[in-house]
Structure 1
Amino acid sequence: MHPLAPSDPTRVGPYRLIALLGAGGMGRVYLGLDRRGRPAAVKVVRAEHAYEPAFRARFADELDLARRAQSENVPRVYDADAKAETPWMATEYVMGPSLQHLIETTGPLPEHSAVHLARGVAQALVGLHAGGLTHRDLKPANVMVSPHGARVIDFGIARALVDGHSPEHGKTVGTPGYMAPETGRGEQTGPPADVFALGGVLTWALTGQGPFGAGHPSTVLYRSENLAPELGRVPENLRPLIAACLDKDPARRPTAVQLLQALGGPAPHEPTAARWLPPAPASAVDAIGNAYRARVVFGDRSRRGRGLLTGASVVVALILLGGFGLWALDGPLPREDEDPVAAEPSTEPEPATREVCDPTEHLAPEFTEAAASEPTIPSVSFRVRTSFSHDGSVLAVAGDQGVALWDWENETELALIESLGERSDTRPHFSPNDCLLAWGTEDGALVYSLETGELTTYAEGRDISDTLFSLDGTVLTVADRGFDSEGSVYDIDLESGETLLVYERSSNRRFLARSPDGEHLAGLSGSGSPSVWETEVGRRIFDQLSGERGLGVNLELLGDGELLFPHEDGPFHYDFLEGSGAGWVIEPEFEDEDEEVNGSLTDFVFNPEADRLYAVFMEDPDDEGFAAATLSIWEYSAGDHPAEATSIDPQIEVLPLRFGVHPGGEVVSAIQPDSETILILDADDLRELQRLG
């Protein structure tokens, strides 16, 4: 749930809009209130589609179908206007996350919860099919989880928004993995296709994985048409029923009525989420309702406040309220008993706007005065991250007491930005011109001007796990890992604070990576699963549900479609642009054939300038806290493909973790837990060069 941007409408039809719920390539969805205060999800079509007569006609047809799709488990259509300048539709607002978001953030559901959910979806399908309708795009993202049970959304309007042209033009409606084989072949589909999709949805709820795995859409589609579903992790007593739903022959699948009966009949209307969900998912569902109530209570108050600000207060109003959680005031407004003249802005000239900053010189006095006499790690927990400036001269060391800036070559501490937030496991990032430093906290994304000391907080109050600057330094991409509907990856304009783009299905992302050309963004979930999006439109083009969560960043976009992400046996290489479905695990090699790697992959990083890949494997600690570990280095481009990378013997006797790569590739930083120091290592073989802190 995002605050409205200045470019968002404040009213659509009879609905007053109070928040942005989401956005996609075809439109935006807002939280609106009617004249009685009843909430609604208001879907507004993008202007460019409003000028297509054929689109408007099909939009009107689909609205008519959507109004017919009324059942207890399908949100009601309250109102719509297909003839408006920008067509819109208002439906019942479901106070809960999508099943996709819920499972990604809290994990698979126990059998009784998943069956309760499936009964609600089956009940919705019974009503749709009885009315002569089919959903055609049932999937976890289109099943909302409310405190009372499942609600099926995006019926009817889905066809107008998903396929932009009529079916005669060869477009297939559906999502690989949940799309029935006959749909993928372009054949006539009906209710059996919805039953097939429900089998996939129930598999996802129980296991966190679709029945035909993940990968490129064409690969998943091939599996669904030709291979048996993967049901090994499904409870044994449910496998026959789900297998029947996923039968390749639609005639052999059960009807929605038969499926509902097999699941136990219509789901009861539960009063609270805690009655049928475990604590973690129940809390995630309740968080949506809490966010709604907070928005309704405080949203009106902020709007009224804007009308009271005039004259000299206009600039303050724009800074304080004009963007997504933007807060750029240096201090509080003066009290009434203070001298107003003393509170006026300084007439001293601001530092010149620089195209490029020198992070060893252009530093605010309050930062340099706080610096220690020698490099000191600003953390008591030693959950520390490091990052080099883009010119390579400064190493930023982030911990729970702030960020220290070190001249690593001369072994001096230049500056200290104190107490940036409680979290100490997010990476600091320099802007491309080295003038700004960004850092994610539990209270928003903090962006400091290194020269002036000015702090701007974006996405204030949100739990931000990672940040990235755009290549031109004008946009900040943040990973918001909140458990409500607002938790996602989105772009924020640094000047206005406006949310520019919300990436499709991007909840629960812990780390971010950008391709060298800036055209793709990758995100790693808390469970180690990567996704890739197109940065221009935010469309998700790759998703892998399996991975290993480690101590480091464990995610690399190398360019030309190459992606490295964690696998327990080693870094996994996949070409998401080629989308062949094949990939390679890069595994350690030993001279002694009997020698084995210790444990599973814990950390890795790629050094493109030195053509080196570094990885750490570690076993679980023993009772005394000791763990065996293996360190590997590869010359990445030495073979015909990544799996043939040449191993190099590491020349280091201690264990390095949480690597940082110098932009010139000449050195690598790492944390040495035993001695609580930062290591500067030679890029070729990780030979120790310096020990700081």
Structure 2
Amino acid sequence: MYVASSEEHPSVALRVIKASHSANPAFRTALGYRVENARHALSPYVAGLLDFDLERTTPWIATEYHEGIPLRSLVETHGPLPAEALRPLALALAQGLADLHAGHRTHAALSPDTILITRRGALLSDIGFEWAAAEIGPLSNQGFAAPEGRAAPAVDVYAWAAVLVWAVGGKSVAEEIDRLPLQLRGLAEACLREDPALRPTSDDLVRLLGGPASPAPWPSDLVGLLNRQAEQATRALAAASPRRKRGKGVLLASGSAALALILVAAGVLLWPFSEEEPVSSEEDTTPALITDAGCLDDPGFPPPEGPIDEFDATYLAFSPDGDLLAVNSYNHGLTLWDWRAGEEIARPLAEIDQGVFTFAPVGCQLEVTTYDQFPQSDLRHTVATTVDIPSGEIRDYLGPQSERVLTGLTEPRSVYSFAYSPSGERAIINLRRDLNMEGRHPSTGIIDLDTGEVVETWDQEETDAFLYARYLDEERLIAISGRTLEVRQASTGRREQTIRNSTSPRIDLLEGEEIVYAAQDRILRWDLEAGTEVDSFPVPDYADMEEHTDHSVSNLRVDTELGLLHFSYVVVPNPSGGGEAPPPGSDRRFPNHGYLWDLETGEEVGDEDIASRPMDFHPDGEAIASIGPEGDVRILDPETFEVIDTLS
């Protein structure tokens, strides 16, 4: 869905019809008839039609804009609706259908996708398109359509019951109807009768639910979630309206006024986009939640207070533009550096996890893992946090779990991994499995970085608690789970390829279909397409750890321009093996080991002093950043590996 504005309407919901539909004369005829009738469909429970133009090559329809969340997104992201929300939902939908049926209209495609949950209540947010589609082909609400498969009031009543059942469990009617409260179950069973003549009418539903009347308010935790979503949408609209980014706006002429199109975080997707989207030729593909600016243009964070007294760095990475070096300091948290000037410019977060963090491929944003003490939880759980450096905005992502964790009503789950897609338009986030609900709730979700919403989740049978993931391209990623590497489809999680014998939750990508990963006593360079080993680099001591020690990989990086491969790991005493408990502090207190190889010859280069702890390669080959044995950060010459500067 687009959000658009005109002189007459500050905000409207704009649906642009897909070319494959609009090219069908039968569809255009049906759409024109349905939309004309919809102009007079007045109901507080149905989004009103405001304007349309069906004569254009790309037809569009403008309806009232309501801040809210589609029912499907709400349930799939935050879990089944609480029992207190079902009756208000049932009454609002019944009254919306009754208003339509009173005007001799039908919805014909009622489903969780066409229901909007707003702060004021539930709303039928679809008008016109689905009705027209039902005239020329199969109904699009599979799983909610009545057996007779026609556009009729009795079909809407059947779908009303199917939607309620789905809302309490996210599954089919046959699997979930017993989860409905008793006062609604009998009514739903009557609506689901095979013979449409035996089903109650929508007027019967309203009467049996105590209406006509205003539905009761939503429960407090749902109100809180909707308030937060509305605030985000309001900020997005405010940010987009006064200064639209190039390529994000276009004028669509209509009969009464021009609609200025604004692509913002609307949180709703009800109609298919045109395959020829109406955007200007100056295309800006930077997602809305990533600022389109360089890292040193105008940082949104204040300068640091005081100098670095003792760095004790644990991880580092260059920004995509190469101008900034981000360093995690055990003593000072996330620090940002103009590395050429040797100047620290900001400290956005005082504490982050000491593991890997990742820059987005566009703009200047990075994702780190932070800790959060959720209500009624004795443990500190990890959260995915993005730090947008030009804007100074910090956002936490819960992934595919309910926001009820923020109020203590649901047990939180820690984040295991977060990865940006190559375009930066999406990210995948993986959580600890939902053990309390026997894995019913998804652990893996895809985030749209234009909206911040989870737009896709993986089915449970496809979801393993992998520890690390990287996108191979926009459609595929590679995930590490246990001792296997798995190439999966990003949208569904379906496995396409499995590679066994992985011994580290780290991986890096080369050009084409090649990867590098740890496999016992070697680092393997592997061709995914051919399914064969290209090269290997021995690490005998990594696999030959003593039983009383534990070890974890601190870095695995490859740079084909410089022709270098780096691998490092840290050895931590394991009390269960007879050693003493490790003291608090960073990993510089423990033995660190590393290797730096020439990719072409396989020979080791540099020395243990520069390779034992994490390093990163400048994207243009200008320098190498390396953490020294004592936690100092060094800038190295990429050819001689001599120290040319030290950050402090």
Query: Using the alignment, how far apart are the partners of 1:101 and 1:202 within structure 2?
Result: 15
* Residue 523 in structure 1 maps to residue 428 in structure 2: yes
* Residue 667 in structure 1 maps to residue 567 in structure 2: yes
* Residue 120 in structure 1 maps to residue 92 in structure 2: yes
Pick aligned residue for 1:229 from 155, 175, 181: 175
The aligned counterpart of 2:140 is: 174
Query: Using the alignment, how far apart are the partners of 2:52 and 2:366 within structure 1?
Result: 42
Q: How does 1:301-312 map to 2 (within 5 A)?
A: none
Pick aligned residue for 2:214 from 261, 269, 288: 269
* Residue 463 in structure 1 maps to residue 369 in structure 2: no
TM-score normalised to structure 2 length: 0.53
Query: Using the alignment, how far apart are the partners of 2:68 and 2:444 within structure 1?
Result: 24
The aligned counterpart of 2:586 is: 677
The aligned counterpart of 2:419 is: 513
Which range moves more in the overlay, 549-558 or 658-667? 549-558
Deviations 1:464-515, CA, capped at 9 Å, x for gaps: 659xxxxxxxxxxxx99999xxxxxxxxxxxxxxxxxxxxxxxxx9965356
Pick aligned residue for 2:51 from 56, 63, 79: 79
The aligned counterpart of 1:29 is: 3
Q: Which runs of 5+ in 2 are unaligned?
A: 245-287, 371-384, 404-414, 432-440, 510-514, 532-541, 560-564, 573-581, 596-610, 614-628, 632-648
* Residue 148 in structure 1 maps to residue 120 in structure 2: yes
TM-score normalised to structure 1 length: 0.50
Query: Using the alignment, how far apart are the partners of 2:516 and 2:317 within structure 1?
Result: 17
Deviations 1:247-304, CA, capped at 9 Å, x for gaps: 7x4649844538826972437426xxxx63333321232345556777898988879x
Q: How does 1:9-88 map to 2 (within 5 A)?
A: 23=1, 28-31=2-5, 34=8, 40-43=11-14, 45=16, 52=23, 54=25, 57-83=29-55, 87-88=59-60
Query: Using the alignment, how far apart are the partners of 1:583 and 1:92 within structure 2?
Result: 43
Query: What is the Cα deviation at residue 151 of structure 1?
Result: 0.5
Q: How does 1:388-399 map to 2 (within 5 A)?
A: 396-397=327-328
Aligned length: 477
Q: How does 1:182-331 map to 2 (within 5 A)?
A: 182=147, 188=150, 190-207=152-169, 209-211=170-172, 228-230=174-176, 249=194, 251=196, 254-257=199-202, 260=205, 264-266=209-211, 268-269=213-214, 276-287=217-228, 290=231
TM-aligned CA distance change 1:530 to 1:577, over 3 Å: closer
The aligned counterpart of 2:313 is: 376
Q: Could you say what secondary structure the match of 2:168 adopts? A: helix
Query: Using the alignment, how far apart are the partners of 1:423 and 1:104 within structure 2?
Result: 31
Which range moves more in the overlay, 111-120 or 127-136? 127-136
Deviations 1:367-409, CA, capped at 9 Å, x for gaps: 9x967775435xxxxxxx86588999x88437874236899xx
Are 1:613 and 1:634, in contact at CA under 8 Å, matched by a contact in 2?
yes
Which range moves more in the overlay, 286-295 or 98-107? 286-295
TM-aligned CA distance change 1:133 to 1:387, over 3 Å: farther
Which range moves more in the overlay, 92-101 or 656-665? 656-665
Q: Could you say what secondary structure the match of 1:229 adopts? A: helix
Are 2:462 and 2:494, in contact at CA under 8 Å, matched by a contact in 1?
no
Query: Using the alignment, how far apart are the partners of 1:546 and 1:419 within structure 2?
Result: 39
The aligned counterpart of 2:358 is: 429
Are 1:77 and 1:92, in contact at CA under 8 Å, matched by a contact in 2?
yes
Deviations 1:207-234, CA, capped at 9 Å, x for gaps: 3x3338xxxxxxxxxxxxxxx4355765
Q: How does 1:446-525 map to 2 (within 5 A)?
A: 456-457=390-391, 463=395, 465=397, 512-513=418-419, 521=426, 523-524=428-429
TM-aligned CA distance change 1:235 to 1:194, over 3 Å: same
TM-aligned CA distance change 1:387 to 1:53, over 3 Å: same
TM-aligned CA distance change 1:127 to 1:551, over 3 Å: same
Pick aligned residue for 1:420 from 328, 332, 348: 348
Query: Using the alignment, how far apart are the partners of 2:549 and 2:125 within structure 1?
Result: 54
Structure 2 letter corresponding to 1:463: R
Structure 2 letter corresponding to 1:439: L
Query: Using the alignment, how far apart are the partners of 2:157 and 2:497 within structure 1?
Result: 35
The aligned counterpart of 1:221 is: none
Query: What is the Cα deviation at residue 111 of structure 1?
Result: 0.4
Q: Which runs of 5+ in 1 are unaligned?
A: 1-22, 213-227, 304-322, 333-365, 378-384, 408-412, 449-455, 467-478, 484-508, 590-602, 615-632, 642-647
Structure 2 letter corresponding to 1:99: L
Q: Could you say what secondary structure the match of 1:74 adopts? A: coil
Are 1:201 and 1:210, in contact at CA under 8 Å, matched by a contact in 2?
no
Q: Could you say what secondary structure the match of 2:175 adopts? A: coil
The aligned counterpart of 1:625 is: none
Are 1:668 and 1:681, in contact at CA under 8 Å, matched by a contact in 2?
yes
Are 1:193 and 1:250, in contact at CA under 8 Å, matched by a contact in 2?
no
Query: What is the Cα deviation at residue 570 of structure 1?
Result: 9.9
Query: What is the Cα deviation at residue 582 of structure 1?
Result: 8.3
Query: What is the Cα deviation at residue 110 of structure 1?
Result: 1.7
Query: Using the alignment, how far apart are the partners of 1:398 and 1:610 within structure 2?
Result: 27
Q: Could you say what secondary structure the match of 1:70 adopts? A: coil
Are 2:333 and 2:347, in contact at CA under 8 Å, matched by a contact in 1?
yes
Query: Using the alignment, how far apart are the partners of 1:239 and 1:540 within structure 2?
Result: 30
Q: Could you say what secondary structure the match of 1:151 adopts? A: strand
Query: What is the Cα deviation at residue 98 of structure 1?
Result: 2.6
Query: What is the Cα deviation at residue 196 of structure 1?
Result: 4.5
The aligned counterpart of 1:504 is: none
Query: Using the alignment, how far apart are the partners of 2:554 and 2:156 within structure 1?
Result: 47
Query: What is the Cα deviation at residue 100 of structure 1?
Result: 3.4
Query: Using the alignment, how far apart are the partners of 1:259 and 1:584 within structure 2?
Result: 54
Query: Using the alignment, how far apart are the partners of 1:587 and 1:237 within structure 2?
Result: 53
Deviations 1:42-85, CA, capped at 9 Å, x for gaps: 41537978995846555433312432543331122233343468
Are 2:68 and 2:119, in contact at CA under 8 Å, matched by a contact in 1?
yes
Q: Could you say what secondary structure the match of 2:47 adopts? A: coil
Deviations 1:190-212, CA, capped at 9 Å, x for gaps: 445444543443244333x3338
Q: Could you say what secondary structure the match of 1:662 adopts? A: strand
Deviations 1:306-342, CA, capped at 9 Å, x for gaps: xxxxxxxxxxxxxxxxx9866789679xxxxxxxxxx
TM-aligned CA distance change 1:107 to 1:554, over 3 Å: farther
Query: What is the Cα deviation at residue 153 of structure 1?
Result: 0.7
Query: Using the alignment, how far apart are the partners of 1:256 and 1:634 within structure 2?
Result: 66
Query: What is the Cα deviation at residue 167 of structure 1?
Result: 6.1
TM-aligned CA distance change 1:58 to 1:416, over 3 Å: farther
Structure 2 letter corresponding to 1:198: W
TM-aligned CA distance change 1:585 to 1:654, over 3 Å: farther
TM-aligned CA distance change 1:546 to 1:76, over 3 Å: same
Query: Using the alignment, how far apart are the partners of 1:416 and 1:230 within structure 2?
Result: 56
Deviations 1:616-648, CA, capped at 9 Å, x for gaps: xxxxxxxxxxxxxxxxx999999xx9xxxxxx9
C-alpha RMSD over aligned residues: 6.5
Query: Using the alignment, how far apart are the partners of 1:153 and 1:95 within structure 2?
Result: 11
Query: Using the alignment, how far apart are the partners of 2:544 and 2:158 within structure 1?
Result: 52
* Residue 110 in structure 1 maps to residue 82 in structure 2: yes
Query: Using the alignment, how far apart are the partners of 1:330 and 1:520 within structure 2?
Result: 22
